[in-house]
Structures are given as C-alpha cells and as structure tokens.
Chain A
C-alpha cells in the first residue's frame, strides 16, 4: 500500500502547513549588501534584538519573521515582495533602507492590503498625494533637513554647498534643507547613488568656497566623502548633515575627523526615556558595547509597533481594519519618546540636534545637544487625501 503511505505523508504535510500558516508572518527585506549595506546591517541588529525581546511572538501570538537580503536593488525588492505576498502570504512588511526600494514595493503591498511599516525611509510621495492607509513612516525624509536648515541659520552660515545622491530621498533631503534655510545655496550637487570617489565633487566645493557643506550621504558614501573631504584639505569647512550622514556606522569608520559634525535626528541614543534606556542597554549588551544607530532604533521600534498593534487588534491580523486602527494609535512606548501620527500616517514628533564628540570612555559617538524642531510635521500632509 505505498499509495496510502504517500497520502498519509501528504496529509501530514498539509496539516503541518496549516499549523504553520496560523503564525503571523512578517516579511523583512534585509538590506545587508549593496549601497546601503552598513545601514542594513544596523537595521538587522535592531530587528534581531526586538525579535529576541518579543520571544519570537507578536502580541503574544506565534510569529514567523522572514528575512531575505535584497541588496538595495528596487528590482530585487519587487521580486522579493512578490514572493512574500504570493508564496508566504505575509501579514506585515518592513525593512528596505532606500526610498527607491520603498517606492518600488509600495503599490503591490497596498494592493494586497498588507501594512508596510517603514523601518527607515519616509519618501515625500507617500506623505503627499500618494499617501496610503497601509503605509506608516518613522519620519518624513525632508524633516531631518528642515531641522538641519534651521541649525545652519542659527550658526550663521550665509552660504552653503549641498550634496546628495541622485535618487528620491536625495532630492527630498535637499528640498527639506532649502525649506527652512535662509542663506544662499552656492551649489547643489547630485551624485550617483553608491558613488565612492568624490574627487570631482570636492574640487567643485573647493572652488565654491562655502561657509559650510551640507551633505546627505548615508553609509559608505558618507564615510568616503568625509575621508576624502579631509584628505583634500577641506577640514576647516564645517560639515552639517541629517543624522544619516553622521551616525554610528560613519563615525566609527571615519574616526577623529567626525568630531564636531552637527547633525539632526528624531532619535539619539542618549535621549532620556525609559524605553530608550532599556533598548540602548540591551543593544550594547548584545553587540559588544557599541552604540545603536538610528537604523537599529527604528527597526526595533517597528517590531514593537507591530507587537502592540497585534495585541490591540485582539490578535486578529486578518481583520486589517482593526490592525490599521491599532497601528494608527500606537500603544507602545517608542524609543524616540511620545509621537502621534498625522493624517498621512507620518509622525508628528521632535527633531534633535546632535554633535559628534566623545563619551565618558573616550569613544566617538553622537551627543544630544537639544531640541531643534518641536512636534514638527512634514510639509506634504496637506496634499494627502485619505
């Protein structure tokens, strides 16, 4: 009776599969190779820590966290999301670092009614006319730079050169800076995404002789830019940046030349608050004493938000309306402190000024200086009809 045996095996498999399918499935698109690899690795560490803290569950229910690297490529992200949706039937999605990948995968996720909690990018398109109830942001790209523009005013920089990679977030970041900055923009340089050699651009900056340089170059791009900037003899020109160009990954790789770089962010590891203190301590314990970056913090927060939403929705993740309602009114303690979502699901929150310096042990890191923008909302919310 071999057929019967086979049939039994198939039935057993089916049974196993249905048990499996009852788990809540979270699709995480890891970004650990490609142009954003250093940032993606930080985010991965934040996810891992959160999964550990949650005991592999969401809202007390068994959950499965699918993790696949997509190498920062929007095309690969699209394929991965198609697989997550069709084969794995995910209930939540998060992970991409780049705005280009976020914009690429959004439509398929929204059509499949899968909530996409961004663990990093906040592209302007999803904040304005393309806003969607299934997309939740951590910040809007421009806001970091609006804060930086305000800082540049306060520092009295009368003219600046701006530099960013030529992709959606690069444009958002430079637009954000120009929105609140009152001085003159001497030059606005867009580079290839993932560019490593900045000799041509540094020569342009030298020729422009600005009071300060504002650079949005996350990850390896920023590391190389600052090294070559200093190597090119421009170390007396002040650098100002959104937090992404001056976070732990960049600071540790560049070293001393980073001291004094002003940067803005919606979170910092020395921000007061119980949830943050707990997160930073756990992170430093798990990862050899290194400080978490904003990417790790956002990744951690994203899973905490999912956990709270599943609990608040009574564990019924198939009831998308209930899940969205719960996500919109988060009941968890965020590491960034209190925030509320605006009409476009982008947060209204504080933005802080940080300065790179040394901690008590002599380790280079960001230090909180103060609040730059209080309860700040993005500029695109008016265009959102939701």
Chain B
C-alpha cells in the first residue's frame, strides 16, 4: 500500500464528502431553523440530477445543465413549500415525517411518469472525460477534481453568506433561538422560504454534479438521504460548520472503509469470506463513526443551539 494509493483515496473521500455536504447543508438548515424534518430533500437531489442529465444530453452544455437543474429544482421546491411544507412548520415531527415521506413516494412516481423507470446515463462533459496527471504515477479523473473544486467553492460561499451577510445573520439567529428572533422582529416566514430555496438549490447542484458518476435513477434520493442524515446528526443539527466537518469525515471514513478494509481482510481471511465480510463492514463504517461521536458529544460536533 503506497503513498499514492492512500493519497488518491483521500481525494476520493474528499470529493464524496463535499457532495454530501451540499446535500446536508440544506437539510441541516431546514431542520435546524424551521425545526422541520424534510425527508423529501432527497427528492430535490433526484430532480436536480434528472434535469441536469436531460438538459446536458439535449444541449451538450454542462454549465447550462447545472444552471437549469438549480433553477427548475428551486421552482419545484418553492411550489412544495407553499403547498405542503408551510403547513407543517408548527406540526409535530411525526406529521412532518409522514407528509414528506408521502412526497418522496409521489416524487418517485412523477419521475417515473416523466422519464420512465430505466436509469438515465449521464455523461461527463467531453473536455473532462480524461485524466489529469497530478503526480508521477497518479493520473486523476479531471471531473472529480472539478467536483472537489466546486464543492470547496460552494462551502466557502456558504460560509461567507451565513457569517458575513445580513440574511446570514438572520438565518443564524433563527437557528439558535427561533422564538427570540421572532420577538426581535425577524420576518421568520421570509427567512424560512429563503433557506428552503437555498437548500433546494444546493441539493440540485449536488444532484447535477453527481449525475455523471452515479446512476440517475428513481430512488437515488432516498439512497443519499441516509448518509446526509448521518452527516447532520454527527455535525450537530442546524450547524453549517458541523455539516461541513461531518460530511468530510463521513466521506473519508466511507471511502477508506471501501478501499482499505477488503484488502486488509483478504490478507487474513479466505477470499470468499473476505468478499462477504468486507463490503458489509465497509458499509457500516459511517454508522460506527456516528455512534462514536454521539457517545462523546450527544448533540453532535458543533450544536447550533448552545
């Protein structure tokens, strides 16, 4: 196991972690500020991926595809907020979970009706299909570098937005103490709508960027929702900083589990047993991480509410 192999896996983990962050950021804000459990967040991710894949296929322009995905998804999210989510803010969590789970089922069937059951094959933009020589003996897919770059850029932008702007201040105020913010005259409804749209745009961006390296298919939203929930629980609900750190942790642990565990097991166990055990253990690595973090810090790494 040489240094290049380890470094390449670190990059892979970083890329996956940043994409998880894009999804988890929206989820944690909605949950933290509005105290609303929105399981349909994964469906917005799916919508972004489908729109991007189709627009990219039709126009051949990747940037246009990503922009279209964000716009369409924000429009869908706005509709969703007005029709359903707005009515759920003051209800208890069970009602929210039931209602948004219902939205998942409807969203999956709507996607099925529009695009059919077969997964779409999204392609990487042609200029980014090849590798970049990062170091001697390490060609790295250029598209994955784009993911890392875009992820870092968005994370920085989000940090500035939340910590350096007026709307960000309102968002933070809402997250740490909603009632007090209301007393101080913050138009919480407007902030809610803004946060919901922002979360949707981030989810769509993640969907659009992930489309070429994942399968654009029905149910992809549910599959990504689980690691995203793990991220916000580890990071502390409502905290952007927590989501960022936790997403990188989960990304690295998940990739490391997949990359290092199976070869290690093969060294001590027969290949057939290792083949069954390796992926299973790799799959639970992030839950072990969550359990460990929650044992030490029950409110997550960076709880938004002190």
Chain A positions within 8 Å of B, measured between CB atoms, are 32-33, 37-38, 41, 69, 71, 166, 171, 187-192, 194, 196-197, 199-201, 203-204, 206-207, 220, 223-224, 227-228, 230-234, 253
List, in ascending order, chain B residues with CB within 8 A of A204's CB: 5, 259, 263
Partner of A231, one of B129, B214, B262: B129
List the B side residues contacting A32 at CB < 8 Å.
117-118
Contacting residues, chain A, for B217 (C-beta < 8 A): 33, 37
Knowing that A220-B119, A220-B215, A233-B139 are A-B contacts, what are 11 other residue pairs whose CB atoms are under 8 Å apart, sorted by A's residue number? A32-B117, A33-B119, A37-B118, A188-B271, A188-B275, A197-B213, A199-B255, A224-B215, A227-B123, A231-B143, A233-B131
**B residues contacting the other copy or chain, number (CB 8 A):** 43
B: residues with CB less than 8 A from A are 1-2, 4-5, 8-9, 12, 15-16, 117-119, 121, 123-124, 129-131, 133, 139-144, 213-215, 217-218, 255, 258-259, 262-263, 266, 271-272, 275-276, 278-279, 283
Assuming the A-B contacts A220-B121, A228-B141, are A200 and B258 also in contact, with contact meaning beta carbons closer than 8 angstroms in the complex? yes
CA distance A187 to B16 in the complex (A): 25
Q: Are B129 and A197 in contact (CB under 8 A)?
A: no
Q: How far is the CB of B301 from chain A (nearest CB, A)?
A: 25
Instruction: Report whether B140 and A232 are in contact in the complex, using a CB–CB cutoff of 8 Å.
Output: yes
> Closest residue of chain B to A249, judged by CB?
B121
Q: What would be 18 A-B contacts, judged by CB atoms less than 8 Å apart?
A: A37-B217, A171-B275, A188-B271, A192-B279, A197-B214, A199-B12, A199-B255, A200-B12, A200-B255, A203-B259, A206-B4, A206-B5, A206-B8, A207-B5, A231-B142, A232-B140, A233-B131, A253-B121
State A317–B273 Cα separation when bound (angstroms): 44
Count contacts between A and B, CB distance < 8 Å: 100
Tell me the complex Cα distance, A220–B12, Å. Answer: 21
Minimal Cβ-Cβ distance residue in B for A33? B117
CB distance from B212 to the nearest CB of A (A): 8
Nearest neighbor of A30 in chain B, beta-carbon distance: B117
**Alpha-carbon separation in the docked complex, A203 to B5 (Å):** 6
- Complex contact A38–B118 (CB within 8 A): yes
| A65 to B87 alpha-carbon distance, docked (Å) | 47
B218 to chain A, nearest CB (A): 7
A71, B4: Cα distance in complex, Å = 39
Which residues of B lie under 8 Å from residue A191 when comparing CB positions? 279
| Distance in Å: Cβ of A246 to nearest Cβ of chain B | 16
Nearest B-chain residue to A229, judged by Cβ: B141
Q: A203 to B8, Cβ gap below 8 A?
A: yes
In the complex, what's the smallest C-beta–C-beta distance from B23 to chain A, in angstroms?
15
Do residues A232 and B259 form an inter-chain contact, with CB atoms below 8 A? Answer: no
Provide the residues of chain B in CB contact with A69, threshold 8 Å.
117
Pick the contact of A232: B141, B263, B271 (CB < 8 A). Answer: B141
What are the residues of chain A within 8 A of B262 when measuring CB–CB? Answer: 189-190
Which residues of chain B are near A231, meaning CB under 8 Å? 124, 129-131, 141-143
A166 and B213 contact, CB distance less than 8 A? no
Bound together, the chains give a CA A230 to CA B139 distance in angstroms of 10
CB distance from B239 to the nearest CB of A (A): 27
A169 to B217, CA, bound (A): 23
User: 9 closest A-B pairs (Cβ-Cβ)?
Assistant: A233-B139, A233-B131, A33-B117, A231-B141, A190-B275, A200-B259, A199-B12, A207-B5, A203-B8
- Contact status B118-A33, CB under 8 Å: yes
* Chain B residues whose CB sits within 8 angstroms of the CB of A166 once the complex forms: 275-276, 279
| Complex: chain A residue closest to B258, CB-CB | A200
- The residue of chain B having its C-beta at the shortest distance from the C-beta of A187 within the complex is B263
Inter-chain contacts of A201 with B (CB < 8 A):
258
In the bound assembly, the distance between CA atoms of A33 and B259 in angstroms comes to: 29
Are A199 and B272 also in contact (CB < 8 A) when A69-B117, A231-B124 are? no
The docked-state distance in angstroms from the alpha carbon of A33 to that of B117 is 5
The smallest C-beta distance from B275 to any residue of chain A, in angstroms, reads 4
A43 to chain B, nearest CB (A): 13
Residue numbers in A under 8 Å from B130 (CB-CB): 230-231, 233
Q: Measured between alpha carbons, how far is A201 from B261 in the docked complex, in Å?
A: 12
How long is the Cα–Cα vector from A37 to B124 in the complex, in angstroms?
A: 21
Given the contacts A41-B118, A190-B275, A190-B278, A228 and B129 also touching, CB distance less than 8 Å: no
In the complex, are the beta carbons of A230 and B129 less than 8 A apart? Answer: yes
Residue from A38, A171, A204 having most chain B Cβ neighbours under 10 A? A204
List residues of chain A with CB within 8 A of the CB of B133.
233
A189 (CB) vs chain B CBs: closest residue:
B262
Q: Are B12 and A207 interface neighbours, CB within 8 A? A: no
Q: Give the residues in chain B near A33, CB-CB below 8 Å.
A: 117-119, 217-218
Docked pose: A69 CA to B218 CA in angstroms: 14
- Partner of A203 from the list B12, B129, B213 (CB cut-off 8 Å) is B12
Q: Which of A71, A194, A200, A253 has the most CB of B within 10 A?
A: A200
In the assembled complex, the Cα of A151 lies from the Cα of B128 at a distance in Å of 34
A299 vs B123: C-alpha distance when bound (angstroms): 29
Cβ–Cβ < 8 Å partners of A38 in chain B: 118-119
Q: Which residue of A lies closest to B133 (CB)?
A: A233
Chain B residues in 8 Å Cβ range of A203 = 5, 8-9, 12, 259
Contacts of A189 in B (CB 8 A): 262
> Nearest Cβ distance between residue A75 and chain B, in whole angstroms?
14
Provide the bound-state CA to CA distance between A188 and B140, in Å.
Answer: 23
Measured between beta carbons, the chain B residues less than 8 angstroms from A41 are 118
Measured between beta carbons, the chain A residues less than 8 angstroms from B121 are 220, 223, 253
- Report the nearest B residue to A203, measured CB to CB: B8
Give the residues in chain B near A223, CB-CB below 8 Å.
Answer: 121
For residue A171, which residues in chain B have a CB less than 8 angstroms away from its CB? 272, 275
State in angstroms the CA–CA spacing of A32 and B116 once bound together: 10
- The one of A200, A227, A232 that contacts B124, using a Cβ cutoff of 8 Å: A227
In whole angstroms, how far apart are the Cα atoms of A317 and B16 in the complex?
Answer: 55
Which of A37, A200, A232, A253 makes the CB contact (< 8 A) with B131?
A232
- The distance from the CB of A275 to the nearest CB of chain B, in whole angstroms, is 29
Once the chains are docked, how many angstroms separate the CA of A206 from the CA of B2? 11
Residue pair B9, A200 in contact (C-beta under 8 Å): yes
Task: Looking at the assembled complex, report how far the CB atom of A318 sits from the nearest CB atom of chain B, in whole angstroms.
Answer: 35
> How many angstroms from the CA of A201 to the CA of B262 in the assembled complex?
10
